Structure 1
């Protein structure tokens, strides 16, 4: 399993540029199980998750993300859950 400490990669920023950088690292490790650890980060906007996962959802499906990518220490799991489940609320 590849553990990615999101704060170390993004500097704690949640801009689309940082999400794109993290997405590239995820793509480089798709053969492995991946843990995204959000320790030390405040609430993450849903736009960050959309930038991060929309291509994967389109190309591999939601179940691929659910099966291969583990999310830990996320202060606002609702934003992630809405993105991964395709719901607005």
Structure 2
């Protein structure tokens, strides 16, 4: 089991994209999980707990830079270490 005292605190807003100002590299050294409305999701690219949303990549649509478009889903968001 992980020692939670040595783990950094999960931020309110976190992004998996290294170019984002909300990306924190130390967090991604550990396994984290996201629950949206009580259901665990594995496809979350970005989340905000206080505003209650997650962003997931669309299946086929790309933006003009070739990155997948992100779809915002709203609900109760919980972030945790696995």
TM-score class, shorter-chain normalisation, is under 0.3
User: Which protein has the bigger helix share?
Assistant: 1
Which of these two proteins has the greater Rg computed from alpha carbons? 2
Return the TM-score normalized by structure 2: 0.26
Which structure ranks higher in relative contact order (CA pairs < 8 Å, sequence separation ≥ 6)?
1
